[in-house]
A and B are shown apart, each in its own frame.
Chain A
Amino acid sequence: MYVHIENLSFSYPKTPVLHQLTFTMQKGEILAIIGSSGSGKSTLLRTLSGLEMPACGRIHIAGETVCDTSRCTPADKREVGFVFQDYALFPHRTVAQNIAFGLHKTPRKARQARVDALLEMIAMTGFARRYPHQLSGGQQQRVALARALAPMPKMLLLDEPFSNIDTDLKHTIRLELASLLKKANMTSILVTHDEEDARMLADRVIVLEGGRIVHEERVVRTPRH
């Protein structure tokens, strides 16, 4: 299994949030997590990315144990990409600089090439020198995605990526995102409120309630057009 999560539990001071979660994922699989507000979806992503430390449990990603009882790799060494709910694009950096931010270890030439390729992938080549506040919600979402993909993470976590985008646009963006992720063969977890999102994008859906997995199902996909 490419991703393997075992008995994962987490609590904030005084508030237990996740209880003994166990699930696995295959390489390239897209997993959707749905659940009501406060059920712990964001917290699960934060724990997987290394921003929070679980109380107990194990996390294996790409053949490596990134977290168990004895040690825990911090976020900056875990190579897990994260697309934040409000995108968190750095306001003082241009689109290109945002995308290049995670490529600080890549040589300059290669970095430039990668940024160009990603800009082309998200169809925003002309926007390289704009600042985030000069972009629409959908454009910001695409830049955030490109930024997270740039360092070629082992997996990608997306926290409600469509929540800031209105319904008209949502449909196209959803399709785009699905094809982008598939093209990159990116193992991804997507948090959403919307079952339609889940069904259109994911290979599998997990329903989280009160920090526990209450339901899991494989999506029988209606063939895409």
Chain B
Amino acid sequence: MKRRINHDGPLFSLFALIAGLAIIVPLLFILRHLFEPSTDAWRHIRQIWLLAYIRNTSVMIFWTAFGTALIGTYAAVLTTRYTFFGVRVLSWMLVLPLAVPAYIAGYVYADMLSYTGTVTRFLRLVSLPQLLQPMTMAGAVFIFVFTLYPYVYLFVRAALKRQSAAYAESALTLGVGPFRAFFLVVLPLLRPALIGGVFLVVLETLNDYGLVAYFNIRVFSFAIFNAWFSFGEVVTAIRLSAVLLIMVFVILVLERVLRGHRRYTVHVKGRVIAARPLRGLARVVHPFCLWLILGFGFLFPTMQLMHYAVLTWRNTLNMTLFYNFMNTLTIALGSTALIVVIALMLANFGRFRPKGWKRAWLKATTLGYAIPGAVIAIAVNLFFITVDRQLYPLYRWLNPASPVLVLSMSLGMLVFAYILRFMAIGYNSIEAGYDKLGETFTEAAYTLNHRKLSTLLKIDVPLLKSSLFAAAVIVFIDVVKELPLTLILRPANYDTLASRIYEYASDEMIQDTGVASLILIMMSALLIYALSGPKKRGRSAHVRPY
């Protein structure tokens, strides 16, 4: 038997164990449904729809992935390798579309292009026909691409900033031209970043419900809700999500196989390529394209929302909205803090060459991101009800008049579901931070008689500050935008901005979403500014901006 130094104090092992259990057990609650006998609805869906679901989902994912990869990389390369007028502003503003939930963009674009919409009216004014059909697959892909490309942009940008000039320069000295050098050396080295970003995009796309339901695009997330809503069959919904999980898994394996034994994350210290000014026509064309990208993803939808807000603020800007805002703020802050802390503990547990079961366990704790929100909601609800029933004697001892269901009527259930759902985002960015940091600082602290916890707080946390902050911002934005979990699991009399927006929109009162949507977007936008806006010069020169 091989022995290893137990770097993981009992605290961390225990913590990882509990966190893992808390995440895996609820999922087991619904897994058993997979083995129940087939129902008519399942047979019906399999016969008529399953192939179409798979085809539509594949088409949607493919084009969204392709589009975000293209636009994200394009924007990242331009803003890191070139200088031009407005590049500093653009380089952080290009992240802003992340603040716009795809479903809001969907409602807004559909309205803008509808008969009464701004664009159509303008075209009518100049006697032009409006030929765009927003509520199609192409329209949905368009919206996903322009609201989700920032994931790719952020990842690729960070990688480009780290990439040493040595690679490109050695290619040049080997007689390869700059254009080919980019495609032969620079781009392949960006691959892990590109894949990381695109993978997030794909998962977000797979999980969207609001947009595809409104556009009536028959993809899996829609099918899962439809099985539940139209057939009233939770079992079929869970089966469909199992098929979806298999698809995600296949994508992951495919990527692994393609990657083979190559390694991309080499830490080469050295000079980073300096940005060059754009010349000639490019000086106009490229900035224009970037502003257009930003326009589609952020500026145009926000402008339209402002118009809605002007129309409706008298009815919608009130104390209720303020409470919704406070609810959103507090629950997002609280969940984000918990997710980041737990992810940090888990990532810390998984350092130093995790093997076998440990690796698998950690992977399992991040599963939630690949599971459709509706399924998580059912799982968490069942889990909490079971826990409540077990804890009932305790409740009664504390308060003889206590009802049985306490936790499952509380906000705790929703927070728990957020944690389950978004752990992967927190965990992956912190793990990436640890990767960049390496192990020596931590080991040096151990040899200086510091225990694991004290090392974590004194060395790891300060050095990981930027990764932690980046993780927090992305998780926060995701929580603020989240829909199915929020709708299904929020307690009585509790509303967030997102749930209000959804309700207005499902009552076909898109104009009334204006103020709430703007507040939601501005909250996220402020954080994005804090994350990647122009940096003040400080002594944190050694800490790489995200």
Note whether A and B contact each other (Cβ less than 8 A).
yes
Of residues 428 through 456 on chain B, the ones whose CB sits less than 8 Å from some CB of chain A are 440-441, 443-452, 454-455
B residues in contact with A53, CB < 8 Å: 3-5
CA–CA, A148 and B446, complex, Å: 11
Alpha-carbon distance A91/B458, docked complex (angstroms): 12
Q: Which of B353, B440, B449, B542 is the one whose CB lies under 8 Å from A77?
A: B449
Of residues 44 to 71 in A, which have CB atoms within 8 Å of B's CB atoms?
49-55
Contact residues in A for B3 (Cβ distance below 8 Å): 53-55, 72
- Indicate whether A82 sits within 8 Å of B449 (C-beta atoms), given known contacts A52-B5, A92-B462: no
- Bound complex: CA A102 to CA B455 (Å): 11
A76, B5: Cβ atoms under 8 Å? no
Q: Is B446 in contact with A104, judged by CB distance below 8 angstroms?
A: no
B: interface residue count bin: 20 to 34
Q: Which residues of B contact A79 (CB under 8 A)?
A: 449
**Contacts of A131 on B, CB cut-off 8 Å?**
539, 542
Query: B-contacting residues of A (Cβ < 8 Å)?
Result: 11, 13, 49-55, 72, 74-82, 84, 86, 88, 90-92, 101-102, 104-105, 131, 133, 147-148, 150-151
B315 interface contact, C-beta 8 A: no
| Other-chain residue from A72, A78, A84 in contact with B444 (beta carbon distance below 8 A) | A84
Name B's A-contacting residues (CB within 8 A): 2-7, 353, 355, 440-441, 443-452, 454-455, 458-459, 462-463, 539-543
Chain B interface helix/strand/loop/mixed = helix
A-B residue pairs in contact (CB < 8 Å), sample of 27: A13-B2, A49-B447, A51-B5, A72-B5, A75-B443, A75-B446, A76-B447, A76-B449, A76-B451, A78-B447, A79-B449, A82-B443, A84-B440, A84-B443, A86-B440, A90-B441, A90-B445, A90-B463, A91-B542, A91-B543, A92-B540, A102-B448, A104-B450, A131-B542, A133-B542, A148-B447, A148-B448
Chain A minimum-CB-distance residue to B463: A92
CA distance A51 to B452 in the complex (A): 12
What is the bound-complex CA distance between A84 and B445, given in angstroms?
A: 11
A76 and B463: CB pair below 8 A?
no
Main secondary structure of the interface of A (DSSP, over half): loop
Chain B residues with CB under 8 A of A82 = 443-444, 447
Residues in B whose Cβ lies below 8 Å from that of A147: 448
Min distance, Cβ B73 to any Cβ of chain A, angstroms? 30
With A13-B355, A53-B3 in contact, do A101 and B450 touch (Cβ < 8 Å)? yes
Given A91-B542, A92-B542, answer yes or no on A50-B446 (Cβ-Cβ < 8 Å): yes
B1's closest neighbor in chain A, by CB? A55
CB distance from A141 to the nearest CB of B (A): 14
**CB <8 Å contact, B450 and A76:** yes
* Residue from the list B7, B355, B441 in contact with A74, Cβ < 8 A: B7
